[in-house]
Amino acid sequence: MISSGSAGLLQRRENMEASEMLRLYREMVLVRRLEEAAASLYQEGKIGGFLHLYIGQEAVGSGVVSARRPEDRVITAYRDHGIAIAAGMPARVVLAELLGKATGCSKGMGGSMHLADVRLNFWGGHAIVGAHLPLAVGMALADRYRERQAVTICFFGEGATNIGYFHEALNLAALWKLPVLWVCENNKYGMGTSVERASAVEEIRQKAEAYGIPGARVNGMDVLEVRGAAEQALEHVRREGPFLLEAITYRYRGHSMGDPERYRRSDEVRKWQEEDPIGILRKRILEEKASREAALDRLETEVEEEIGEAVRFAEESPEPAPEALFEHVYAEKGA
Amino acid sequence: MAVITMREAISQALWEEMERDDRVFILGEEVGVWGGTYAVTKGFFDHFGPKRVRDTPIAEGVIVGAANGAAMAGLRPVAELMTINFAFLAMDQIVNHSAKLHSMFGGQFTVPLVIRAVGGGGRQLGATHSQTPDAVFAHFPGLKVIAPGTPQDAKGLLKSAIRSDDPVLFIEHATLYQMRGEVPDGEITEPIGVSKVQRLGRDVTIVTYSKMLQTSLQASAELANEGIEAEVVDLRTLRPLDMGPVVESFKRTNRAVIVEEGWPSFGIGAEVASRLYEQAFDYVDAPIRRVAQKEAPLPYNRTLEQMALPQVSDVVRAVKEVL
């Protein structure tokens, strides 16, 4: 069982249905192909602004979000495409938003960093580091206020744990025993500054201990380990209050497009790529005979076709109308 | 019609809206057990209980941030900031979140939040606790900014703010809580974004709001003794700004003085004067004048503080200059 401050005590999930393993595999491949397509579209100049790719971190989003109930809310930072897909957003809607189209989830008003779909209980996509942690506290407070059993799952990078918001939010969540699952995606770098160079404490879960919030570290490259840990962490949150899950992961690409990556060596990236989350799950599926090579290859072809169709949809979608500029400045008309 | 204080008016508005809608709750520093640092929420904790009257740690970022999140999730939080100077600690939540969450996600959710903040100088609280930064907040589309100058407007506008689906910053002046005024009995609301003529006059238009409404009305009484009749237009809401009654008055008087407590640079007076020149240039008979705070951090010393703040005599002098 989960115990405070004890890395590795989480039980690995051993008995997942073959169909669920294949669903996770397909989802992570979809995220990978989506991000590759987004990178190409960015290089073609069709995506503006910043683009933060989730490649390498797929197991964290898919592992945690697949453990939630429909009433559980999800909120994250700006590296949000993979979380959006895990929350159930179609790839075509993600890509349409990236292209700033009216068919995007935020009608082209938000862009890459501001994906959301409240019907999926996915509340963004927030671009100011650390600022969505208080939002998560407020949403959990609202659920508690209305005596709902929902948990708010809040993803953030390890870089967000050095800002005041993290401490204000964890303190209040613990003080009020709010149902928040804090998920720290520790990908080792806040932009180009490694965790050792930015944080006095390298194990992020230790920071949660200061607020009496139990935590655990998991291998964020193994989706089944993440999933098992998330299930137990969610149970803890429903029963007792906030919990911090620290997933050790790695982004293969730069912080955003145009990152010269002077802060790390290419052999470090290659070493992590050997621990690829999609590769690990593929090996596991084949070992357990949950599927066969040919079937997985077929599935990958299907995903590529889906992404191709999604790119076409996004490119052919209309731009927002000029009136959209003022449409939602205020909720009340005439303001 | 009852005569009550500004404090009672604000308290009544909160109480009535909490009775009316159980989605409304209060959070902030010392709002509960203490009863509010300005005693606005006295008795609320005992009546509504700790679920709806929530004392928070001294942490403005998470006070407004949690209020934003709760509003996104469908509640109607009223977050109290002990002074508007502490709003700077929550500036990111107010500016980057409250004001933007609705539009930035294509209108998917609303942020029906009220932030009550106490502003203004005149109590010898020193430079960091005495500011009138209203113009700063009025700069941002997406936010509504209200600053009432009478008990009736305070009650009616706060009730409208709580019922609004948009985020509202509601600025109360620290020296107005004891001010008394007539407030109609029973249910009253006042519309957000509607300026109001508070005194009729034919000679000059004084445009003002909040505490400076009282200063301007006193100046108008002095001017009346000399046969000068000032019309006083109270903005009441800074964003959205209603220029209608201002322009209408100016077209009759052809002269205007704008009175604000904050600094003049990039301020409310600058905005109103600019709009008057844009919208009524052909009616200008004299340069539009601004009365505002002297351009220095507000000092502790009582004499210097009063010297820096706009006084009745400053308004009288400015009016005479435009006549």
**Residue B116: predicted pLDDT:** 98
Residues of A in contact with B71 (CB under 8 A): 138
pLDDT above 80 for A218 = yes
Mean model confidence pLDDT for chain B = 97
Instruction: Answer for the pair A135, A126: CB distance below 8 angstroms, yes or no.
Output: yes
**Residue A279: predicted pLDDT:** 96
pLDDT above 50 for A5 = no
Q: How much is the average pLDDT of B29-41? A: 93
pLDDT above 70 for A3 = no
Residues of B in contact with A172 (CB under 8 A): 56-57, 59, 62, 66
Q: Which of B73, B77, B107 has its CB closest to that of A328? A: B107
Question: Token match 């998991």: residue?
Answer: A218
Residue A107 to residue B104, Cβ atoms within 8 A: no
Mean model confidence pLDDT for chain A = 94
| Chain A nearest CA to B24, separation (Å) | 11
pLDDT above 60 for A9 = no
**Residue A14: predicted pLDDT:** 62
Amino acid of residue B140: F
Pick from B302, B182, B204: nearest CA to B259? B204
Sort residue A85 into left (φ over 0), alpha (ψ -120 to 50) or beta: alpha
Q: How much is the average pLDDT of A218-227? A: 97
Predicted structure pTM score: 0.96
pLDDT above 70 for A2 = no
**CATH classification code of B2-183:** 3.40.50.970
Percent of chain B residues past pLDDT 70, beyond the cut: 100
> Three-state SS for B251?
helix
Residues of A in contact with B75 (CB under 8 A): 141-142, 145
**Residue A334: predicted pLDDT:** 66
| Chain A nearest CA to B42, separation (Å) | 22
Instruction: Label residue A7 by pLDDT band (50, 70, 90).
Output: very low
**Residue A260: predicted pLDDT:** 85
Q: How much is the average pLDDT of B168-186? A: 96
**CATH classification code of B196-322:** 3.40.50.920
Residues of A in contact with B65 (CB under 8 A): 131, 133-135, 137-138, 165, 168-169
How does pLDDT run across A153-183, given as a tens digit for each residue?
999 999 999 999 999 999 999 999 999 999 9
Residues of CATH 3.40.50.970 domain(s) within chain B? 2-183
Alpha helices in A131-287 (DSSP H): 132-145, 164-175, 195-198, 205-209, 223-239, 266-273, 277-287
How does pLDDT run across B213-250, given as a tens digit for each residue?
999 999 999 999 999 999 999 999 999 999 999 999 99
Instruction: Label residue A335 by pLDDT band (50, 70, 90).
Output: low
Question: Token match 């080792």: residue?
Answer: A188
pLDDT above 50 for B86 = yes
Instruction: Label residue A6 by pLDDT band (50, 70, 90).
Output: very low
Domain boundaries, chain A: 18-318
**Residue A10: predicted pLDDT:** 55
**CATH classification code of A18-318:** 3.40.50.970
Instruction: Label residue B323 by pLDDT band (50, 70, 90).
Output: very high
Residues of CATH 3.40.50.920 domain(s) within chain B? 196-322
Percent of chain B residues past pLDDT 90, beyond the cut: 99
Report the alpha-carbon distance of residue B289 to residue A299 in Å, rounded: 73
Pick from B113, B211, B131: nearest CA to B170? B113
Instruction: Label residue B257 by pLDDT band (50, 70, 90).
Output: very high
pLDDT above 60 for A1 = no
Q: Which of A109, A114, A137 has its CB closest to that of B69? A: A137
In total, the C-beta contacts within 8 angstroms joining chain A to chain B are: 136
**Residue A273: predicted pLDDT:** 86
Q: Which of A125, A141, A164 has its CB closest to that of B61? A: A164
Instruction: Answer for the pair B53, B44: CB distance below 8 angstroms, yes or no.
Output: yes
